[in-house]
Chains A and B, each alone.
Chain A
């Protein structure tokens, strides 16, 4: 049995770990609130731009944007993987990467090439380890999503799509359901399905300034960016709540370990006292 001092140092070290996990839990809790607010704040833009895109797809049948055209056969697919930059958030990143990996394998077995775009350090590291072809990436996204950081990497994928180097584009991220529940999703974002934008009613057209093509091009670009932005915002909210839950579990586990160690410590202490006592009694009896 370990000596009293050994157990004491062990308890001390577990207590220190518990302090850290508890602090991280509280930090994650406060960040989570902000991340959730941000996620909700980003929703109106997504809704509005979807409405405008829907109007536009009905109003102007002559020019059909490449994003709306369904291609006959896909040869190469792109996937944007949204993950967190930091770890210690439970199975959050593993769940997304596992799902993406499964999908990538089935694409590859179907003879499709896969190009990836990594948003977030963990996903980037994963894709590199897997030896996947990463066209673009953005890491160090911080606590708040910034569109400026996302535009570049997403544009690389969209350009590849426009050039015909990619025929489909998917977006994998963790959807925030509530504090306790987040689920990994892989959504097809390109080509946009017409059904998603609603059905036509009546015939009318806009006055375009400067011209229809450039306005529609720009709007479609923004629509995809808004989708990606929303995904990143959701992922960040998921990350913080997953971290909060993971750190809470870690703190609780540390508490259990401390209780067990304290019990052992007290037992050894008592055993030592009993031993000493019996030695004294035996010694006194011998006299």
Chain B
């Protein structure tokens, strides 16, 4: 049997995933990182994006969308403290697109009351959400 590592994905509102995995990919501050068991202790901020978890004896990877948070890696345990992490399947593509449009509009119209930095963050989040949905679509062959 391959080596495994324990993974916990939690957000403030609920525990999203807890179990063993062979490999985890997460969007760290300086780019995506891949984590195998016995990784050196590592801690990083996360950018909006998808966390991929390869579970033993399961062909499909589990996908979780995170809109930011903290990633902590210990040799035997990975903890992902997500700001808002919903199950990938629950994501609403239309909603994400709408949010993107809204954010883009707000960016064009800088005189609007909306803060530029906030709009940019919303745009990054929407783009990441859409990418997560597309990945899931591709996987399920739709």
Complex CA distance for A272 and B8, rounded to whole angstroms: 77
- Indicate if A205 sits at the interface (CB-CB under 8 A): yes
Assess whether B30 is in contact with A55, with CB atoms less than 8 Å apart: no
Assess whether B12 is in contact with A42, with CB atoms less than 8 Å apart: yes
- Indicate if A34 sits at the interface (CB-CB under 8 A): no
Min Cβ gap B103→A in Å is: 16
Min Cβ gap B31→A in Å is: 9
Q: What residue of chain A has the Cβ atom nearest to residue B18's Cβ?
A: A44
Selected interface stretch from B38-46, B55-63, B128-136: B38-46
Min Cβ gap A149→B in Å is: 12
The interface residues of chain A lying within 8 Å CB-to-CB of B79 are: 48, 51-52
Q: What residue of chain B has the Cβ atom nearest to residue A56's Cβ?
A: B43
- Indicate if A61 sits at the interface (CB-CB under 8 A): no
Assess whether A209 is in contact with B74, with CB atoms less than 8 Å apart: no
The interface residues of chain B lying within 8 Å CB-to-CB of A219 are: 43, 70
Assess whether A206 is in contact with B13, with CB atoms less than 8 Å apart: no
Among the listed B13, B45, B72, which residue makes an inter-chain contact with A52, where contact means beta carbons less than 8 Å apart?
B72
Assess whether B15 is in contact with A45, with CB atoms less than 8 Å apart: yes
The interface residues of chain A lying within 8 Å CB-to-CB of B74 are: 55
Complex CA distance for A55 and B70, rounded to whole angstroms: 14
Interface residues on A, range: 20 to 34
- Indicate if B29 sits at the interface (CB-CB under 8 A): yes
Complex CA distance for A157 and B9, rounded to whole angstroms: 28
Q: Could you tell me the dominant secondary structure of chain A's interface residues?
A: helix
Q: A41-B15, A215-B43 are in contact. List 18 more A-B contacts (CB 8 A).
A: A42-B14, A44-B15, A45-B10, A45-B81, A52-B43, A52-B70, A147-B13, A204-B41, A207-B43, A208-B43, A209-B28, A209-B29, A209-B44, A210-B45, A215-B44, A218-B45, A218-B70, A219-B43
Name A32-58 residues within 8 Å CB distance of B: 38, 41-42, 44-45, 48-49, 51-52, 55-56
Most buried by B among A51, A205, A206, A229: A206
Q: A51-B79, A206-B43, A208-B44 are in contact. Are A42 and B70 (CB under 8 A)?
A: no
- Indicate if A226 sits at the interface (CB-CB under 8 A): yes
Q: Could you tell me the dominant secondary structure of chain B's interface residues?
A: strand
- Indicate if A250 sits at the interface (CB-CB under 8 A): no
Min Cβ gap B117→A in Å is: 15
Min Cβ gap A108→B in Å is: 34
- Indicate if B4 sits at the interface (CB-CB under 8 A): no
Assess whether A41 is in contact with B13, with CB atoms less than 8 Å apart: yes
The interface residues of chain B lying within 8 Å CB-to-CB of A38 are: 13
Q: What residue of chain B has the Cβ atom nearest to residue A212's Cβ?
A: B43
Please list the 6 inter-chain residue pairs (A to B) with the smallest Cβ-Cβ separation, ordered nearest first: A209-B44, A44-B15, A41-B14, A206-B43, A45-B10, A207-B42
Most buried by A among B13, B28, B29: B13
Assess whether A209 is in contact with B43, with CB atoms less than 8 Å apart: yes
- Indicate if A248 sits at the interface (CB-CB under 8 A): no
Assess whether A52 is in contact with B12, with CB atoms less than 8 Å apart: no
The interface residues of chain A lying within 8 Å CB-to-CB of B76 are: none
Min Cβ gap A261→B in Å is: 48
Complex CA distance for A218 and B45, rounded to whole angstroms: 8
- Indicate if A225 sits at the interface (CB-CB under 8 A): yes
Assess whether B44 is in contact with A205, with CB atoms less than 8 Å apart: no
The interface residues of chain B lying within 8 Å CB-to-CB of A218 are: 45, 70
The interface residues of chain A lying within 8 Å CB-to-CB of B15 are: 41, 44-45
- Give 26 CB contacts A-B under 8 Å: A38-B13, A42-B13, A42-B14, A44-B18, A45-B11, A45-B12, A45-B13, A45-B14, A45-B15, A45-B81, A48-B8, A48-B81, A49-B81, A55-B72, A55-B74, A59-B41, A147-B13, A147-B83, A206-B42, A208-B44, A209-B28, A209-B30, A209-B44, A215-B70, A219-B70, A226-B12
